């Protein structure tokens, strides 16, 4: 294709895709049916992982629940069965450990079948200034929040590629789009998780595997206990998100095959203009919105004795 023709095609398609995106803002997209799909949720024993699993239970999916806490995982399974799920499987898995991930994944494939919707949700937060963070915690943050995604993709993506069917979901964070004071290791892990998910999505697209969908979720702080103590200066503009609201938005994004979900919507605007702003203006706005001090009173989830 010569330069002129290729340029004209690109301009035409650019206009078409722009109009399509505007149309989809007002015309609801048909939600896909996930009944019978094998859905794996990591970090299912509490928080958003549990709530997302329960939403899939109501949609009659087959649930595979992973968590390092056997007690929490069993409670999620009980609630999932009460919500209508007929097939629920629980596995204790340390997602920070590659060997554990591979071993449990092999067991899932033998006992349940090929996972068709993979939701990488397991995550941890140190909540300390970088120089105050022990090396072991820094390493654990990267292992759980980033490297675990590598191992779950390695384990379950081949079957999706073979059938050209599946959905990869990364529960990341707005801290994977914007730096946050006091979250150096967490931001690093989430930036990496977002970049990894986007890159693999591009690999699948280029290789023609358009039957495998991807969704990246980047929420602001969610009131699950993980970020207890965090505050927002302007709650109407940047609210601490209600967990049930966040879970329903995540499910809706998956069913609509939405590529990127940013919550709240105000963050989408900030993300869109971020690279257009001078650095000093960006810092000024960060101070104005209070994001530099959001972690000042961080406590985190209280650990059970």
Taking the CB of residue 172, how many other CB atoms lie within 10 A of it?
A: 30
288 tagged catalytic: no
How far apart CA 283 and CA 175 sit, in angstroms, is 16
List Cα–Cα distances, 243 to 19, 50, 52, 239, 247, in angstroms.
33, 10, 10, 12, 6
Cβ atoms 143, 96 nearer than 8 A = yes
Short-list 158, 164, 191, CA closest to 175: 191
Cβ atoms 172, 121 nearer than 8 A = no
How open is the CA angle 283-289-294, to the nearest 5 degrees? 95
The single residue of 91, 153, 186, 220 carrying the catalytic annotation is 186
List Cα–Cα distances, 215 to 118, 171, 182, 194, 259, in angstroms.
10, 8, 27, 10, 4
How far apart CA 228 and CA 99 sit, in angstroms, is 32
| b/e 242-264 (16+ beta carbons within 10 angstroms → b) | ebebbbebbbebbbbebebbbbb
Q: Which residues are catalytic?
A: 186
């Amino acid at each position: 294709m010569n330069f002129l023709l290729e340029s004209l095609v690109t301009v035409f398609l650019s206009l078409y895709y722009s109009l399509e995106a505007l149309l989809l803002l007002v015309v609801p997209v048909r939600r896909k049916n996930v009944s019978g799909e094998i859905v794996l949720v990591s970090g299912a024993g509490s928080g958003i992982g549990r709530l997302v699993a329960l939403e899939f239970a109501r949609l009659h999916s087959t649930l595979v629940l992973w968590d390092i806490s056997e007690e929490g995982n069993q409670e999620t399974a009980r609630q999932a069965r009460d919500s209508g799920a007929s097939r629920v499987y629980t596995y204790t898995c340390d997602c920070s450990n590659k060997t554990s991930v591979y071993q449990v994944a092999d067991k899932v494939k033998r006992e349940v079948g090929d996972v068709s919707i993979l939701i990488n949700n397991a995550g941890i937060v140190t909540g300390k200034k970088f120089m105050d963070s022990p090396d072991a915690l820094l390493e654990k943050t990267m292992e759980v929040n980033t490297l675990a995604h590598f191992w779950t993709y390695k384990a379950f993506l081949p079957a999706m590629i073979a059938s050209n069917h599946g959905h990869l979901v990364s529960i990341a964070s707005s801290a994977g789009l914007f730096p946050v004071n006091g979250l150096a290791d967490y931001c690093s892990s989430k930036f990496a998780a977002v970049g990894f998910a986007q890159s693999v999505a591009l690999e699948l697209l280029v290789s023609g595997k358009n039957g495998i969908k991807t969704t990246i979720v980047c929420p602001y702080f969610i009131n699950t206990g993980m970020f207890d103590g965090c505050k927002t200066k302007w709650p109407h503009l940047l609210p601490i998100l209600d967990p049930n609201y966040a879970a329903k938005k995540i499910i809706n994004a998956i069913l609509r095959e939405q590529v990127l979900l940013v919550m709240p919507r105000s963050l989408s605007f900030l993300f869109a203009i971020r690279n257009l702003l001078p650095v000093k203006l960006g810092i000024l706005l960060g101070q104005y919105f209070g994001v530099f001090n959001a972690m000042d009173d961080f406590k985190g989830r209280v650990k059970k004795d």
